Structure 1
């Protein structure tokens, strides 16, 4: 008899905390809830993450689908060049992160549920539907919008979109998310820390 893989949010948060990054516990809890929401109907789902860094949020998403929807996959898109921040304010350039990313998802036991895409988001080739889109790349308005527009046409009608760093310290993220809500039929479903979750609806 196969032992079931139970969803254990506290264990996911504990594993996440060992990984360098900026995702806080309440934001990770919202990611868990979002991944659980899009997988609730069964079947294989595609979760696309833009901006993986060393795998902190990737592990949260992948551990959730491992427990709830093992046929689903997280597509983790990042060039892993070590550049973070905002192009209209300050960019920080660190060491390449791909080796650390691969090691971290393997150590967390979720590598089988992650498809790394080592690419700039807008250069990534994509032709499949998307059930969850999580945008956490560069945080200026131009790059946030470019990330979203490149994948928006692939979103399922009931897909959800999450943005990290929806906060005053990154006004470009706030401006673009507010535009989606005001002009493009999206509504805010939930907000935790600087994480905001959108769905299509009134």
Structure 2
């Protein structure tokens, strides 16, 4: 199931919104994510729901939301909006413009809402403001895909995998971002959970684009 089987593309107005949104996903990988989401949400046995773990300001969510809107589906995007390890003061990706002066902590929730407003996706994308582990405890239904792009510590990646991979329907997809087989190219935790998914025997690799991996549930 190569990614090229779907020819869907993000409209120019929404691409502009995504391009102007803080985030770290390369455009070519975001386009691949869009095609994958479109594919799984359009299948005959689709349940009409995709989940994203790790919202940040909503850059990749625009791509997912656009694909979902085409099929009258929904995207649930989960984030505590306090930033991952690399977003904290003193780290490379800390953005002082996203700090809540009242709490003295990063708060990306308002920027995410602005992104969804500008992209006209407020009725398609449901923002779940909670840690991934807490949200997983109250979740209770199958989904067409889970896209894991949250914290990159081993604990965070493991929690995302343990809490959410189980909800992918048979024939649905587990999508993992920032998978780098060579340690010199990037952090290991996303690669480690990717290997766990394959070694579990529940998922098979269907495709890859850059650091994005597409695994299909048996």
- Same fold by TM (over 0.5)? yes
Indicate the residue corresponding to 2:174 in structure 1. 161
Worse overlay, 48-57 or 146-155 = 146-155
**Contact persistence 2:168–2:217 (CA under 8 A):** no
Question: Counterparts in 2 of 1:127-138, with a 5 A limit?
Answer: 127-138=140-151
Secondary structure at the aligned position of 1:85 is classed as: helix
Change (3 A) 1:51 1:84: farther
Q: Alignment partner for residue 116 of structure 1, among 118, 124, 127?
A: 127
* Distance in 2 separating the partners of 1:153 and 1:179: 13
Q: Does 1:83 align with 2:84?
A: yes
TM-superposition CA deviations, 1:37-85 (whole Å, max 9, x none): 1122356511110000000011110011212x12x11001001113343
Structure 1 residue aligned with 2:111: 100
The answer to whether the aligner puts 1:64 opposite 2:86 as a matched pair is: no
Check conservation: 2:55, 2:77, Cα contact below 8 A.
yes
Contact 1:38 1:45 in 2 (8 A): no
In the alignment, is the contact (CA less than 8 A) between 2:58 and 2:115 conserved in 1? yes
Residues of 2 paired with 1:85 and 1:188: CA distance? 28
- Partner of 2:173, secondary structure, is strand
Is 1:180 the counterpart of 2:197 in the alignment? yes
Aligned-pair CA distance for 1:91: 8.6
Distance 1:47 1:111 in 2: 15
Question: What secondary structure, in the 3-state scheme, does the structure 1 residue paired with 2:127 have?
Answer: strand
Aligned-pair Cα RMSD in Å: 2.2
Q: State the match for 2:103 in structure 1.
A: none
In the TM superposition, residue 126 of structure 1 has moved relative to its aligned partner by: 0.5
Structure-1 separation of matches of 2:27 and 2:173: 20
User: C-alpha offsets along residues 123-163 of structure 1, whole Å, 9 cap, x if unaligned?
Assistant: 01201211110001111222212111112332211110111
Q: Distance in 1 between matches of 2:188 and 2:43?
A: 36
Unaligned runs of at least 5 residues, structure 1: 1-6
Instruction: Give the CA deviation at 1:8.
Output: 3.9
TM-score (norm 1): 0.85
Q: Which residue of 1 aligns with 2:157?
A: 144
Partner Cα separation in structure 2 for residue 84 and residue 20 of structure 1? 16
Normalization by structure 2: what TM-score?
0.79
Query: Could you say which residue in structure 2 is the equivalent of 1:39?
Result: 41
Q: Measure, in 2, the Cα distance between the counterparts of 1:158 and 1:118.
A: 28
In 1, Cα distance between the equivalents of 2:163 and 2:38? 24
**Residue in 2 that maps onto 1:21:** 23
